[in-house]
Amino acid sequence: MLHMTEDLLITLRPLLTAEATAEAYATGTEPGDLEQTVWLRLLERLEADGPPLDPHRWLRSVVRTEARRTRRTARHERPYESGDEPADTDDRIPEQLVLTAARHRALHEAVRKLPGRCPRLMAALLSPADLTYREIAGELGISQGSLGPERSRCLGCLRRLLTPEVAAR
């Protein structure tokens, strides 16, 4: 099985690179991030159902599906505008300051409970030093292209941990 998986990865690599490069720029994402997401989907597929019957067709379909998902996500995101008021202002009343501090504690407590290298990644992203992706990748010892998918997985875990907290409000 391992040899067959290695052969499949070697066979699909050039096609995935070409497909991801073709689709990524239309979604506003990096081809490497799209590639990594598709590799993850392939590993999930191999673990659950074994190799696809037509790997080339499966790969093209997954690349397009992930590209569409990325486009949908990008449509719903709203960039922070300089005219928007920052979330943390010091001129609040004491009750608001206490609530904000409690939210920060809950967030940092949840971050510490995350699996794998998520706590370190999230701590770097939440750092007041405002690190770049390149600096974070160097600090964690992973490739810069891995940060986007890794961040997404970590945020998903964090969301699940904080869901009861958010629902209580």
Distance CA 169, CA 165 (A): 7
What integer pLDDT is reported at residue 70 of this predicted model?
Answer: 84
What integer pLDDT is reported at residue 96 of this predicted model?
Answer: 83
Higher-confidence residue: 154 or 90?
Answer: 154
**What's the token pair of residue 79?**
């960039």
What integer pLDDT is reported at residue 88 of this predicted model?
Answer: 54
Q: Express the helix, strand and coil content of the chain in percent, nearest 5 each.
A: 75, 0, 25
Residue 11 has pLDDT above 70, yes or no: yes
Per-residue pLDDT reduced to its tens digit, 51-70: 889 999 999 999 999 988 88
Q: Write the CATH number of the domain with boundaries 94-168.
A: 1.10.10.10
Distance CA 41, CA 62 (A): 8
Residue 27 has pLDDT above 80, yes or no: no
- Rounded to whole angstroms, what are the CA distances from 83 to 62, 69, 76, 79, 88? 39, 29, 20, 11, 14
What integer pLDDT is reported at residue 58 of this predicted model?
Answer: 93
Q: For residue 107, what are the contacts with CB-CB under 8 A and spacing of at least 6?
A: 126, 162
Distance CA 147, CA 128 (A): 18
Per-residue pLDDT reduced to its tens digit, 116-152: 889 999 988 888 888 888 888 888 888 888 888 888 9
At residue 103 the predicted structure's pLDDT band, cuts being 50, 70 and 90, is confident
Q: Is 105 helix (H, G, I), strand (E, B) or coil?
A: helix
Distance CA 163, CA 32 (A): 31
What integer pLDDT is reported at residue 81 of this predicted model?
Answer: 65
| Range picked from 34-38, 76-80, 92-96 for highest mean pLDDT | 34-38
What sign results for the dihedral spanned by CA atoms 160, 110, 146, 133? Answer: positive
What integer pLDDT is reported at residue 83 of this predicted model?
Answer: 57
What integer pLDDT is reported at residue 26 of this predicted model?
Answer: 75
Sequence letter at residue 78: R
Distance CA 67, CA 82 (A): 29
Host H or E run for residue 12: helix 2-27
Q: Are 34 and 63 in contact (CB under 8 A)?
A: yes
Q: What is the pTM of this model?
A: 0.46
What integer pLDDT is reported at residue 148 of this predicted model?
Answer: 87
Q: Residues of the chain with pLDDT > 90: what percent?
A: 15
